[in-house]
A = this chain, B = another copy of it.
Amino acid sequence: MSNTIWSVDEHLEDVLAAVEPLEPIELQLPDAQGCVLVEDVTVPLALPPFDNSSMDGYAVRVADVAGASEEFPAVLTVIGDVAAGSGELPSVGPGEAARIMTGAPLPPGAEAVVPVEWTDGGTGGGAATGMRAASDAPEGASGEVRVHRPAEARAHVRARGSDVQAGDLALAAGTVLGPPQIGLLAAIGRGTVKVRPRPRVVVVSTGSELVQPGEKLGEGQIYDSNSFALAAAARDAGAIAYRVGAVTDDAETLRATVEDQLIRADLLVTTGGVSVGAYDVVKEALSSVGDEDEPGGGIDFRKLAMQPGKPQGFGSIGPDHTPLLALPGNPVSSYVSFELFVRPAIRTLMGLPDVHRPRARAALRTDKALTSPAARRQFLRGTYDEGASAVTPVGGSGSHLIAALAQADCLIVIPEDVTSVEPGSEVEVVLLG
């Protein structure tokens, strides 16, 4: 690691330059949820595919119900039922009507639909409130119906193609597939769709001091929290996350673990072991993993003008040049680093249009001025009050305050050239939402 100091923006730019959207694959619709479409999907058939009824009622000829009223109803012969999904349709002649259900095809001869509520429902009584179930009352499909109101041509008929026409663009490449888009794809008959898959992100925490939660702590040990927090954050960003329990501070073990994991990783994230200590084995191990002889391979370790999160590593490893980000081991440093660098990398792999967290401006709500080191961009944890456009810091600047992090919903950004921020000043916040 040289003594050059990189800015947050330079590092982010380098990280994003090193990751490319994943190759698209054809996925079943439910598996494509949240993914980005890579093809323009055109409509193969008109929707609806045929003229159909928008009401439960009677399919009629317009002339037969002209002038009909409750006092002088049109009396029509019911020739049968047209249910949704009916294949063979009865032909409606003069003086005839067919019972028709919502979504059922308009039968030949019929020109309009009168809702059942505008008829006697075939009962010979007053206005109907509904039809009796066909299974209870099969005789409802025959006999006579009294129609109490006239209907214009095409009344209560949804025309073929009134939603979309064959050849229309249904969804453009680049669309993120949420529930309504999944619904539209299903409606036009697409069982599978070509998208960028969710990236598989492997999170490896390192440190001989780490013990898994639920186990007993020995002297000098702490619980592994990074692998849990970052796997959850990767999932939250849209990835499929695999958590690898803590790896001991031994370069050979770490190298073997990382090489083992390559097979299921589109992105590797490690925590710990990236600083200037004598046991910083991530740095030691990963400068020689896999593709050190290949162009573009290998991991760079850097110091960033940033607090927390100064030491960072990134690059690519293995035969497929799998991208890897090596984050610092402190829980708050690693989480902030994840938000700033890994989350945008994951969303770039997904091909999402917007890879960054939203930001806002807010008035700083504190009793006294905040201090910040010169020449470092500081990220403090805060709670954002959207209504008041204000932000309150939680916890101090100490990078180990994981308890405060769990109360925060934003990061307060103090720029490199600012060393003190007065109460009430406007600051930038990154909304963690």
> Which residues of A pack against B, CB within 8 Å?
1, 3, 29-30, 33, 43, 45, 47-50, 54, 56, 81, 83-89, 99, 101-105, 116-117, 129-137, 140-141, 158, 162-164, 168, 170-171, 178-192, 207-210, 212-215, 217-233, 235-236, 243, 248-249, 251, 275-281, 284, 329-331, 335, 398-403, 405-406, 408
B residues in contact with A33, CB < 8 Å? 232, 235-236
Inter-chain contact B102/A188, CB cutoff 8 Å: no
A164 to B217, CA, bound (A): 16
Q: A1-B130, A207-B103 are in contact. Are A158 and B217 (CB under 8 A)?
A: no
* Closest residue of B by beta carbon distance from A206: B84
A sample of 20 more A-B contacts (CB under 8 A), given A105-B219, A131-B277, A180-B406, is A29-B228, A49-B221, A81-B278, A85-B207, A102-B329, A163-B401, A163-B403, A170-B403, A170-B406, A181-B406, A184-B402, A184-B405, A186-B223, A186-B224, A189-B214, A189-B215, A189-B223, A190-B213, A191-B212, A191-B214
How many copies of the polypeptide does the oligomer hold?
2
A105's nearest neighbour on chain B, judged by CB, is B220
Let me know if B187 and A214 touch, CB within 8 A. Answer: no
Is chain A's binding surface mostly helix, strand, loop or mixed? loop
Would you mind naming 19 contact pairs between A and B with Cβ atoms under 8 Å apart?
A54-B399, A83-B208, A84-B207, A85-B208, A85-B210, A87-B218, A101-B279, A102-B277, A102-B330, A103-B330, A129-B276, A179-B236, A180-B335, A183-B229, A184-B403, A185-B228, A186-B213, A186-B229, A188-B223
Residues of B with C-beta under 8 A to A187: 222-223, 225, 331, 402
**Assembled-state Cα–Cα distance A170/B405 (Å):** 11
Are A179 and B232 within 8 A (Cβ)? yes
Contacts of A104 in B (CB 8 A): 209, 220
A113 CB to closest chain B CB (Å) equals 12
Q: Which residues of B contact A212 (CB under 8 A)?
A: 191
- Bound-complex Cα distance A190 to B249 (A): 23
**Chain B contacts of A218 at CB under 8 A?**
87
